[in-house]
Structure 1
Amino acid sequence: MTTATVTIEDLRALIAGVLEIEPEEVADEAHFSDELEIDSLLMLEISTRVESTCGVPENAVTASGATTLAELHAFLTSKLVGETHAGPVIRPRPLSAPAARLFLFHHAGGSHLLYRGWAEHFPQDWDLCLLEAPGRGHLQALPLIDDCDRLVDYFHTAIAPLLGQPFGFFGHSMGALIAYQLTRRLHHQGGPLPTWLGVSAYGAPRAGADDSHPHLMPDDELRGWLRSVGGSPPQLLDNDDVWHKFAPVFRSDFTLVDTWAPPRSPEPLPVPLSVFAGRHDKLIGEDRLLAWRAFTTHFRGLERYEGDHFYLMKHPQLLAAAITAAMRSAAP
């Protein structure tokens, strides 16, 4: 069985085998932890078997966040469609001449799977490009990059051939930093600029170090901090075996964020910029979010949604509508 031939019945039988129950007891929409009583150790075994049997990268199932059989099958199907190459740009429905391209940058410790399913909420003539940093997902064999400028270089090289049509950038948390720095790079080099830049759950750059330095925290403190922030599945933080696989990714990404030196007197970018955040985000205050107005000549305001630092996981459709409207109104 490969991702090209995997069926939901194959997965049903696999999960039933691990749980030692009959396949019909694994309903499509039954929640793994609540209804099937799958704990972190059983989930690790299921993930390992699925990854080995279906030929997807190690840790991919855990990172997907799938909580039902139907979600797991949809995820594996998307892997076949969206990850047929080993580059950092995943395009769920690639178009050669789209009306617009939207590049989406993920958070620290995350992957392009943050944006899984988003394509269906955007116009059909848009080409969504989900960026994947090295060291995770289908790029797991590549070394991690813990320096902001080097990751910007890596992404710049990858997306350069795709900048012929109008395009926009949207980044969440660490992804917002990367999207901003990549926009600065294009501006300084005289390259094509995005018609719009969206930054999510990330405060405007400022001089001086922040109080928290996650990349320096001991393991227990870091795991506790991640629990308080939200967004990481319990099976990742609560299971030692799973955590030790993902910890290097978190530490590398947090090193990138914590060691980045903000520009002393940045020139406002000639790009419309919108800010997005959760109303209950414990990491970023409103003053830091509104401070982005100094970094653009066209500040488009702050939009807040119910939720915490990972509010966007609950509001993909609303956020997609807001991004679509913002990009269209910013188009020349």
Structure 2
Amino acid sequence: MLIDTKPLTIFCFPCAGASAASYIRWRKTLPDWISVEPVEPPGRGARIAEPLIDDYASLVDRLTDELAGALPTNYVFFGHSMGALLAYGCAHRLRDRRERGARALILACCAAPTRRDEERLARLQTDAALLEELKDLNGTPTYVFEHPELLRLTLDILRADFGVCSSFRRFERAPLDLDLHIFGGVDDEIEEDRLTAWSLETSAATTLEMLDGGHFVIRDRESEFLARLRYVLRGVAPAERESRPAFS
């Protein structure tokens, strides 16, 4: 059970094909008033023995069940790519259940629900198409391609995760009432206008910041991204923590 000992907790949802491990090192970089809590979907990482889930609604329900009841007083959701969709879905499900809500959603490199490219996902069905996608995104370590068993596992996870993404449906209900902070990469195929459309999903404020980089800008320019993330988190942390400084 999560013990609420720090002023702000950030729950981090991974992108397609990834695991929660990608966020562990953030604990060494972010200040001690931030508690980094990676969210691990079934079928990977510490949950490798569990069956993969390839349906969006089912995965969101599972993750919401696991988060509910142990939510800290002050928390935010962060999601990268597929993780952004999961964070968005869990925020809606928790509101439906009248659970304590997040103070904000921080989303990176994910097109807004109204601006998604469903045709692209439909093309990613075969091993060959998935393999090409891995290479095009340039987010997979080289050694994965050199070990057949590891590549097989990666492709299976990616296929399930793309199933999650393709089965995503926008929540046709009242917008969320929390701030959305959106990050994008200027070289990513997800253009700025597809990111700004996230403003339709909240009745509160939306911000957008574009960083130099592609779809994996949060990894490739991690120091810069985490500096910006820390600045955003200062703005949503409890007021008694410390005043929000000018960013330099």
Please classify the TM superposition score into its range, dividing by the shorter chain length: 0.7 to 0.9
**Corresponding residue for residue 273 of structure 1:** 180
Post-superposition offset of 1:279: 1.1
Point out which structure has higher relative CO (alpha carbons under 8 A, 6+ apart): 2
1:176 correspondence with 2:92: no
Provide the rounded CA distance (Å) in 1 between the counterparts of 2:32 and 2:116: 44
* Partner residue of 1:290 out of 179, 196, 208: 196
Aligned residues between the structures: 238
Provide the rounded CA distance (Å) in 2 between the counterparts of 1:215 and 1:272: 34
The structure having more radius of gyration, on CA atoms, is 1
For structure 2, which runs of at least 5 residues remain unmatched after alignment? 239-248
For structure 1, which runs of at least 5 residues remain unmatched after alignment? 1-88
Post-superposition offset of 1:207: 7.4
Find the residue that maps to 1:269 and give its secondary structure: coil
Post-superposition offset of 1:215: 7.0
**Corresponding residue for residue 226 of structure 2:** 320
Provide the rounded CA distance (Å) in 1 between the counterparts of 2:73 and 2:115: 35
**Corresponding residue for residue 19 of structure 1:** none
Residue 54 of structure 2 aligns with an amino acid whose one-letter code is D
Find the residue that maps to 1:257 and give its secondary structure: helix
**Corresponding residue for residue 261 of structure 1:** 169
Provide the rounded CA distance (Å) in 2 between the counterparts of 1:181 and 1:316: 26
Which structure 2 residues correspond to residues 118-197 of structure 1 after superposition, within 5 A?
118-197=26-105
Cα–Cα, structure 1 residues 151 and 250, in superposed 2: closer, same or farther, change >3 Å?
same
1:304 correspondence with 2:210: yes
Cα–Cα, structure 1 residues 127 and 209, in superposed 2: closer, same or farther, change >3 Å?
closer
Find the residue that maps to 1:298 and give its secondary structure: coil
Residue 186 of structure 2 aligns with an amino acid whose one-letter code is R
Find the residue that maps to 2:203 and give its secondary structure: strand
Provide the rounded CA distance (Å) in 2 between the counterparts of 1:95 and 1:279: 38
Post-superposition offset of 1:122: 1.8
Find the residue that maps to 2:95 and give its secondary structure: helix
* TM-score, L = length of structure 1: 0.66
Asked if the contact 2:80–2:108 (Cα under 8 Å) also holds between the matched residues in 1, the reply is yes
Asked if the contact 2:60–2:90 (Cα under 8 Å) also holds between the matched residues in 1, the reply is yes
CA-atom RMSD, angstroms? 2.1
Asked if the contact 2:104–2:180 (Cα under 8 Å) also holds between the matched residues in 1, the reply is yes
Provide the rounded CA distance (Å) in 1 between the counterparts of 2:123 and 2:69: 34
Asked if the contact 1:144–1:249 (Cα under 8 Å) also holds between the matched residues in 2, the reply is yes
Post-superposition offset of 1:327: 2.9
